[in-house]
Amino acid sequence: MAQQSVRTPNAPAPIGPYSQAVVVNGFVYVAGQGAVDPASGKLVEGGVAEQTRRVFENIKAILAAAGCTMDDVVSNTVYMVNLADFTAMNQVYAEYFPGTPPARTTVGVASLPGGTQVEITTIAALPKS
């Protein structure tokens, strides 16, 4: 069960001792992604909708580096500072999963690193070659 670390400059660099994602046993486990622009290293401006979009763009970049697309996602966990923003997050979420959506859990939390309002972890299945 060898693990392979995934790293791309097209998503924010980890702020601690962890990988952007790890590939093992045919799955890609993407670490929690916040709304940080990888080019500037800064939190994107705007509300939860803009932040959710940035989070998914970061996830897309990491999945691409691992050989996957959003169509390969099987599960997401969404962490939100304010569950009153659920509808705004959900509208953007639906844009990224127009077909059969993956399994999902949404959790309300007191705060998230870097001041982001939303953070998402993702699990994707590697495509069969």
* Structural domains in the chain plus CATH codes: 4-125 (3.30.1330.40)
pLDDT at 129: 66
Q: What does the buried/exposed string (b/e) look like for 55-94 if buried means 16 or more CB atoms within 10 Å of the residue's CB?
A: bbbbbbbbbebbebebebbeebebbbbeeebeebbeebbe
The angle subtended at Cα 13 by Cα 127 and Cα 19, nearest 5°, is 50
Q: State pLDDT tens for residues 39-95.
A: 999 999 999 999 999 999 999 999 999 999 999 999 999 999 999 999 999 999 999
pTM exceeds 0.85, yes or no:
yes
Is residue 1 pLDDT above 90, yes or no? no
Find how far residue 16's CA is from the centre of its chain.
17
Q: Is the pLDDT of residue 36 over 80?
A: yes
Place of tokens 């070659």: 129
Query: How many other CB atoms sit within 10 Å of the CB of residue 119?
Result: 22
Q: Please compute the mean of the pLDDT values over residues 92-104 and round it to a whole number.
A: 97
